[in-house]
Amino acid sequence: MPGDPQAASAARQFVRDSFAEWTAQRLPCAEGLTGRLADETVLLVSELVTNAVVHAGTTVELRCRLDPAPGRDAEGDPGAAALPGVVVEVSDRHPTRPIRAREQGTAAEGAGTEGAAAESGGHGLRLISAVAESWGITYHRAMKTVWFRLPVDVDVPGAEDRPEPEIAYDDQLQRELRAAELLAPAARRPTRREPGAGRVDNGALSFLAEASDLLSGQLDADQVAALAAQLIVPRLADWCAVWLHDGDGGAPGRGIAASGEEQRLAGVWHASESHTDALRAALEKQPPEVPDGAAPGSAPAAARWPWLDEPGYEPGGAALACPLVAGGRRLGTLLLGRGGLLGFPDDVVALIEDLGRRVARAVATARAYSRQERISQVLQRRLLPRGRAQVPGVESAVVYEPREGAWAGGDFWDLFEAGEGRWCFALGDVCGSGPEAAAVTGLARPVLRLLARDGFGVADVLDRLNKTMAREAADSVAAVAAAVAAAGAGAEAPVEIREEGEQARFLSLLYGEIVPHPGGSGGARCTLASAGHPLPLVLGTDGTVRVVAAPQMLLGVVQDATYVSESFDLCPGETLLCVTDGVTERRSGRRLFDDEDGLATALAAGAGLDATALADHLRNTVHAFDPTPPDDDLALLVLKAAGGPA
């Protein structure tokens, strides 16, 4: 098989086809090839092939054989096997460090080791050590083979055709919950089971804890539904479906029809992949309308559900519908079924109800995150300009990257036409983050545009914006202090709030205007001022870099501060660079990007590039300064006067 994402699916189908062929040919001991044995083989093969594809990246060879002769293992050693068995070998062409004998022995006991984990890159060896009768790793010159052997119980012919008794289901469930623990990412734990632990209780708590960890890491409701179904199948049921409401959900105690909200089938999973489409079609014919039957304020209870009367489903099976309720809202329904049961045991029902509550909470969290993300995207679009004005004779380029995980950046930029042959530009950085920073951006950018279009010069714009911000900060602090005093808070509380309010309204800003030289001769006249902002640089046509502004006070700190502007000619071929401190203070260990004029050096290295190429060069240089993602917003504005040398 090629080493691509489809290899695992092809491997699973190959195993099932092999089992079907052996049964059809009535090979010796083929009567012991139960559906449960096939499921276990498919689970182990899927994990091993996935690991081989992800970590080796080569073609994968899969061999399956039915070993009818007892007393012989997969390597031909006599006396190693007491029963006939199924032997599977997964090979890749990426030999790695052999597992030491001590490590392999420990892994075979079910505890898992660092060597085993490193060998598979996942849970493959831990799974086979917990499920398989025996396993091992064989190294060849250019190939590594992981093999395992599952025993075939020839004493129970035709077991796959008979419903399993309830106690056998519980025993099997305990074994599958153990496999579920190994599938979930968790620290290594002892795998020795307590004496007499033969039912669900021991594995249930670990299974629920691991399920919570997996579900809580999902930030999309559909992914939660899909993962929940895969957690349940085949450990608790043969098939599972998750219905989700598209609205906020109905109140507990009401059916879906009564709630007036549409629902959709968000996740479907079947132990036999070929039955998934048919299962989806059957379920879509009649969406569940199960009242949860719970008293107000109590947890919803699972209810029995009619077994599917569809082709391909044997008569005789148990189905269960569990409402998904979180925060008093009905978010959907969890539906699952298992063949060969008259009804789910009480302890399994309790386990499913507990899992359903965790699924519901994960869905609610994912939806809350999605709503917040949509709000953030809308606000961020409103806080940034919809486009960049085209300045005659001047190329422009912008890089704007909010820090990783930020819902809205504290940096902002603008480039707009102010009338009378003037174009204005701004690059700002709010002291703070989150909604407070967004509030300052929402104040500063419209005020800048309004003042510029009213004809105010660069220095006057900064004077008026500074006064506006200082007054806003003072009013906010006074209002908060008054509210705290009215509530009878302690004396220290207003001081703390005052500091937060003032800090959130400080702003560093580089603001200027460009007037292109008349007659299309190239170049432009620039006037700008820097208020507590990294100073702008100009790259000359000869590759030299110079600073073109003087530092001044942050905006919003002192109400009566005054600002001055500086003017210069941006000659044809010269480039003006404006950046925020997310660029200059990009950190690598104890070093900053701008230490020893690092920004000027990077700018000079881009001599001869156009505005867009230079912006990309600077962005890539900043990112390459340290392997970790930037911990601050990145913003830079490049303005290059046309008409000079290429």
71 or 562, which is more confident: 562
- Which residue range(s) make up the domain with 68? 7-162
Identify whether 533 is part of a domain: yes
Residue at which a domain ends, from 331, 348, 376: 376
Residues 101 and 228 in one domain: no
The pLDDT value recorded for residue 300 is: 64
Residues 93 and 24 in one domain: yes
The pLDDT value recorded for residue 434 is: 65
Q: Are 31 and 154 in contact, with CB atoms under 8 Å apart?
A: yes
Identify whether 1 is part of a domain: no
Give tens-digit pLDDT for 610-645.
Answer: 999 999 999 999 999 999 888 888 899 999 998 755
Q: Exposure pattern of 255-283 as b/e (b: 16+ CB <10 Å)?
A: ebeebeeebebbbbbbbbeebbebbeebb
Say what the pTM is: 0.53
Identify whether 285 is part of a domain: yes
- Read off the pLDDT band of 529 (50, 70, 90): very high
Q: Using CA atoms in the order 156, 159, 162, 163, what is the torsion angle rounded to 10 degrees?
A: 100
- Read off the pLDDT band of 548 (50, 70, 90): very high
Give tens-digit pLDDT for 100-148.
Answer: 333 333 333 333 333 333 333 445 666 777 677 788 887 776 788 888 8
Give tens-digit pLDDT for 219-244.
Answer: 888 888 888 888 888 888 888 999 99
At 294, give phi and psi (nearest 5°): -95, 145
Residue at which a domain ends, from 108, 142, 162: 162
Residues 312 and 406 in one domain: no
Give tens-digit pLDDT for 476-513.
Answer: 656 555 665 666 554 444 444 444 444 446 889 999 99
Give tens-digit pLDDT for 79-99.
Answer: 344 578 889 999 988 654 443
DSSP class per residue in 235-282:
TT-SEEEEEEESSS-BPTT--HHHHT--EEEEEEEESSGGGHHHHHHH
Residues 327 and 413 in one domain: no
pLDDT mean over 375-398: 82
Structural domains counted in the chain: 3
What is the percentage of the chain residues whose pLDDT exceeds 70? 71
The pLDDT value recorded for residue 194 is: 41
Identify whether 179 is part of a domain: no
Q: Are 335 and 243 in contact, with CB atoms under 8 Å apart?
A: yes
- Read off the pLDDT band of 198 (50, 70, 90): very low
- CATH number, domain of 485, equals 3.60.40.10
C-alpha dihedral sign at 417, 418, 423, 426 = negative
CA distance between the termini of the chain: 52
208 or 467, which is more confident: 467
Identify whether 586 is part of a domain: yes
Residues 365 and 389 in one domain: no
- Read off the pLDDT band of 314 (50, 70, 90): low
The pLDDT value recorded for residue 73 is: 44
Residues 285 and 410 in one domain: no
- CATH number, domain of 315, equals 3.30.450.40
Count of alpha carbons within 13 angstroms of residue 388, beta-carbon side: 17
Identify whether 484 is part of a domain: yes
The pLDDT value recorded for residue 107 is: 33
Give tens-digit pLDDT for 180-192.
Answer: 544 444 333 333 4
Residues 364 and 393 in one domain: no
